[in-house]
Amino acid sequence: MAAGKKRDIAVLYGGRSVEHEISVITALQLMKALDPVKYNVIPVYIAPSGRWYTGNSLFEKNCYRNWASCQHTLTAVSLQPWPGIGGLKVEGGSLLKRFSTLLTGRFDTIPVDVFLLAFHGEYGEDGCIQGLLEMAEFPYTSCDVTSSAIAMNKYLCKSILRDHGIKVLPSKVARKFDAIHNLKSVTDSILQTPGLERFPLFIKPNHLGSSIGIAKAEDIESLHAALAKVFLYDTEAIVEPCLESMFEINVSVISSDPTRASVVEIPVATSGALSYEDKYMRGGGKKKGARSQGMASLVREIDPAALDSTIKEQVTSSALKAFEVLGCCGVVRFDFMHDNTDGSIYFNELNPQPGSLSFYLWVKSNPRFLYTEELDVLIESALKRRSQLASRERELGFMALK
C-alpha cells in the first residue's frame, strides 16, 4: 500500500439472525472508533431480508428505526465469490447496463482492503460469511470458518475443549425434530444422561447467544415449556445442570503478537442467569431517549480486586489454551462459571464475535488498550493471515486427467 494512502475498511454487519439488532449496535460503536486518518470506513449492512446495502445513512441509528424510508437512500451491493474481484459489486442500473455486465463480467466496484466483521448469531458469526470471504480471498477480522462454526455449536465446542482438559458441565442436545415426533423419548433421554438426572436444569439454544431463549426448568412440565421456547429460535437445545450458587467470569482474547488476554469481568445479573435485558437494556438502555451501548451496557465488575488471583489465572490460562486449541483469530470472549459449592470453574461458551468486540475489557487492561488500538490490531492481524494463506501452493496441474 502506498505511503499515506488510507485503507478501505468495509464494516460488515446485520444479517439474518435474531441477534440482528445487537450486531447493528456493535457496528455503530466500532465505526465511530476507527481511526479516520488511517481508514475510509464503508458501512455494509445486511438487512433481515438478506440484501446488502451501503451508504452514509447507515452511520445513523435512525436509519434502522425508519428502514422503509432510509432504504431508498442506500446503494445495493453484493460480493462475488471469486478471487481478484477487488471489492463490492454495485447492484442496479439500467437493463442495458445489467445485460452488458453479464456479457463482459465488468461492473462497478467499491474497493475494499479488509472486511471488519460485527455479526452476532447465525449467518454471520457461524462461518457462513467467513466462507464467502475465503472464496473471494479477502482479509477479514474474525475467527475462520472452522473455529467460527465450532464456537457457534455450544455442545461441539464443549466436547472439544473437554477432550483437551478444560472442565465443562455435563450436557445433552435435544433436537426439535425428535421432540415433535416423540417428546417423551427426548425427555427420558435427557433425564437419563449422567449429571442431568435431577432438576433444576438449564436450557438454552445450542447455536445462539445474547441469552436469547434461555430458561430454567424445575420439573418435567417446565422442561417441556423451556424446550418449546428454545425451538422458536433454534433447531437444537442444550440441556445442562443448573448451578444454584455460582457466578460468571468472562475474559477476552485477541490474536495480537503475541496472543494476549484482557482482564476478567464478573457480569451482574438482576436474578439468576444473565438475560437479554441484563446484557443490552441496562445502564440506562430502557430510559426514554437513552442510547443502548450493547454489551457495554451490562452492569459488571471489571478486574474485581476481591476476586482470588488464582481464579483469575485459571480463567485466563484456560481461555488462552482454548483459543489455541480451537484455532481462533481476531478478538473473542470466553465465558466461564465458578461453582461456589466446591470452587470448580467450568467453561460455558465462546463468543467468536463478542458484543461490542469486548472493548470495555481492553480499555481496563494494564497497559490500557483503547478501542481504536484494538481495531488496528484486528485489521493488521487479518492482513497478515491473508498473506500467509496466499503463500500456499494450491495447483498441481492436471496430472490425474492425463
Q: What is the rounded distance in angstroms from the CA atom of residue 125 to the CA atom of residue 87?
A: 21
Maximum C-alpha span of the chain: 72
pTM score over 0.85: yes
Q: What CATH number should be reported for the domain holding residue 336?
A: 3.30.470.20
Cell triple for 202: 438449564
Q: Are 305 and 163 contained in the same domain?
A: yes
Q: Which DSSP state fits 291?
A: P
What is the rounded (10 degree) CA torsion for 315, 321, 325, 327? 90
Q: Do residues 161 and 303 share a domain?
A: yes
**CATH assignment at residue 123:** 3.40.50.20
d(CA 225, CA 148): 30
Within a domain: 359: yes
Same domain, 88 and 182: no
Measure CA of the first residue to CA of the last residue in the chain; give whole Å: 42
C-alpha cell at 280: 443490552
**Highest mean pLDDT pick, 83-92, 171-180, 385-394:** 171-180
Q: Residue 155 is placed in which grid cell?
A: 455442545
Q: pLDDT value at position 199?
A: 96
Per-residue pLDDT of 220-250, as tens digits, reads: 999 999 999 999 999 999 999 999 899 999 9
Strand pairing of 114-118 and 7-14? parallel
Q: What is the H or E stretch that residue 266 is in?
A: strand 260-267
Per-residue pLDDT band for 276 (boundaries 50, 70, 90) equals very low
Residue 323 CA, chain-centre distance (Å), reads 14
Question: The CATH number of the domain where 197 resides is what?
Answer: 3.30.1490.20
Kindly state whether residues 181 and 89 are assigned to the same domain: no
User: Does 186 lie in the same domain as 163?
Assistant: no
Residue 2 lies in a domain: no
Residues 131 and 57 grouped into a single domain: yes
Same domain, 95 and 187: no
CB 82 within 8 A of CB 136: yes
Domain that holds residue 318: 151-167+245-387
Please tell me whether residues 162 and 284 are part of one structural domain. yes
Query: Do 134 and 34 sit in the same domain of this protein?
Result: yes
Q: What is the pLDDT of residues 37-74, one digit of tens each?
A: 999 999 999 999 999 999 999 999 999 999 999 999 99
Q: How far apart are CA 216 and CA 226, in angstroms?
A: 7
